[in-house]
Structure 1
Amino acid sequence: MLFNKNSRIFKEPYIITALIILSIMLFLAIFAPFITEYKPNATNPRNRLQPPSSEHFLGTDEFGRDVFTRILYGIRASLQVGFSVVILTLIFGVFIGVLSGFYPKLDRIIMRILDGMMAFPGIIIAISLAAIWGGGKINIILALSFAYFPKMARIVRSSVISIKDLEYVESARAVGAGDSYIIFKYILRNAASPILVQATFNFALAILDEAALSFLGVGIMPPAPSLGGMITDARSFMTVAPWLIIAPGLMIIFSVLAFNLLGDGLRDFLDPHLRGKIN
């Protein structure tokens, strides 16, 4: 099994570093109401643009809102978007990838459609859909999921094609096993590694692109806190209140870094060709 007491997965430095960062982020997101006494949208014009202090750990913004509080809730929003995008991407990407890889007649049709979608950068597709559907968390999740699932589908398809003709799959087919049994019992179980690695990269990309969409004004709509939206609001005050842009920017960097490290660590651990090089 992947996660057992004798596994070396928790000895990989990339994975350990990523899990530490993600644990801190998850703790801050879950316990935000207990960590800070302020509300994320509570304004106090008399305290606007206050520098970091014991009362306001990361200062206040142009409306007197506590920056630290808004970052905590912004992390929560980013993780919610990332998790939702990964789930939807897995559902659609795995389903379409299995159909394409397992049934050659469908492969020709599905792959041509996905090739057309992948001709455009994912962020362009997401921006276009967000502009059509409007901002908001739900629309952003759907837009990013639609933009990401073609790549997941292609990865799943490649894994299915490489696995479906192996001897143990042929043996199962020879004894009368149906397509559904073969897919769930043999193919998906053995394709789990590349799917899991790609899911972690999609999580990082979803956080980054959600921040980009919010920065462009088509993401999570204000006054709801989002890391990208906070950076947008801070552009006019960079010289007088640099903490407004530095704090959310660092959180985006650490978030994306953690998931990329996790993906790299899992890839190195699960890939048998790389495992011998790193052990």
Structure 2
Amino acid sequence: MSQAPQPSSAMQPVLRVIGLPHLGIGPKIAALVLALIVAATILAPWLAPHDPLTMDPLVRLKGPMEGHPLGTDNYGRDILSRVLIGGRLSLVIGIAAAVVSVILGLVIGMIAGFFHTADAIIMRMMDALMAIPAILLAIALVALNGPSVGSVIAAITIPEIPRVVRLVRAVVLGAREEPYVEAAIALGSSTFKILTRHLLPNTLAPLIVQGTYILASAILTEAILSFLGAGVSTETPTWGNIMAEGRQFFRIKPDLILYPGVMLSLCILSINLLGDAARDMLDPRLKKRAG
């Protein structure tokens, strides 16, 4: 009787992380909180009691009341609706920036690690990008392209790419000297086959961990850009824009910043806890130390 093919040893850690076995209580709570936040933002059009852009000056800066569970802002807009709808765009921008930066960094890093002639040129370019503070580079890119979702995603993505490139390059440089890779080269395997079949699986585990940190950083960076007025249009509700509008009324109504700030903090904390849990499961040295 034929047996089902078993996953390669390089893919087994990735499958273990996808299954999330043996999580501690902290990561389990983080996963639950993150799932609730994502579900609330996805279902925001049905959960939000009002249109987030509808203004009612008669009820401006009111506390919790009938029809407005969290009160209203300085234009009489419902805070709960704005927090829920704003979370959708904040998460979309963060996820898009994380995915694009990981994909581009993976491709560039594999080229740099495998082709020695391209390594010096690529890494000097990455060093030049990393020499510029990420937030300053992001603000400059948004200023050049104008405030829009696409420009914010690009502004967050470009500073993150060098970090992914350096990680992938280090993994590829180590795996390239392994006997099975040298054997594949000696047998005349194509470069594409060596990169995708032998080297790519080795990069997946560290990329999962790095991707979680990039996601948290991207969500926070979007909020910082919006708070500074360098993000998406101020009329568009995001967690950063909501806090930016509420800062001038902080003394009389601090919950204008409190509610989106709590959502932002819980989201980033949950992602970081899950990233730490994934790192603990994927890093053999940490597993051996725990054992």
TM-score, normalization by structure 1: 0.95
2:253 equivalent to 1:251: no
2:221 equivalent to 1:217: no
2:199 equivalent to 1:187: yes
Contact 1:101–1:160 (8 Å) recurs in 2? yes
Where does residue 284 of structure 2 map in the other structure?
A: 272
Question: How many residues in Structure 1 have an aligned counterpart in Structure 2?
Answer: 279
Aligned pairs for 1:141-220 within 5 A = 141-220=153-232
- Distance verdict in 2 for CA 1:4–1:207, change over 3 Å: closer
Where does residue 130 of structure 2 map in the other structure?
A: 118
Where does residue 38 of structure 2 map in the other structure?
A: 26
2: CA distance between counterparts of 1:88 and 1:5? 21
Where does residue 6 of structure 2 map in the other structure?
A: none
Letter in 2 for 1:241: K
Deviation at 1:168, TM superposition (A): 1.7
- Distance verdict in 2 for CA 1:184–1:5, change over 3 Å: closer
Aligned pairs for 1:128-143 within 5 A = 128-143=140-155
Deviation at 1:54, TM superposition (A): 4.3
Where does residue 87 of structure 1 map in the other structure?
A: 99
2: CA distance between counterparts of 1:50 and 1:69? 15
Deviation at 1:230, TM superposition (A): 0.9
Letter in 2 for 1:181: K
Contact 2:17–2:278 (8 Å) recurs in 1? no
- Distance verdict in 2 for CA 1:137–1:30, change over 3 Å: same
1: CA distance between counterparts of 2:39 and 2:63? 25
1: CA distance between counterparts of 2:57 and 2:267? 31
Letter in 2 for 1:119: A
Deviation digits for residues 109-157 of structure 1 (CA, Å, limit 9, x no counterpart): 1111111110111111101111111112111001111111111111111
SS in 1 for 2:38: helix
Structure 2: runs of 5 or more not aligned: 1-11
Where does residue 9 of structure 2 map in the other structure?
A: none
Deviation digits for residues 231-278 of structure 1 (CA, Å, limit 9, x no counterpart): 111111111111101111111111111111111111111001101233
Where does residue 77 of structure 1 map in the other structure?
A: 89
Match of 2:251 among 218, 226, 239: 239
- Distance verdict in 2 for CA 1:252–1:4, change over 3 Å: closer
Match of 2:239 among 227, 249, 254: 227
Deviation at 1:4, TM superposition (A): 6.0
- Give RMSD over aligned pairs: 1.7
Deviation digits for residues 4-46 of structure 1 (CA, Å, limit 9, x no counterpart): 6996635244432331121011101110111122111111111
Structure 1: runs of 5 or more not aligned: none
- Distance verdict in 2 for CA 1:6–1:118, change over 3 Å: closer
- Distance verdict in 2 for CA 1:211–1:135, change over 3 Å: same
1: CA distance between counterparts of 2:111 and 2:165? 9
- Distance verdict in 2 for CA 1:10–1:80, change over 3 Å: farther
Give the percent of matched residue pairs that are identical in Structure 1 and Structure 2: 36
SS in 2 for 1:113: helix
1: CA distance between counterparts of 2:207 and 2:23? 22
SS in 2 for 1:96: helix
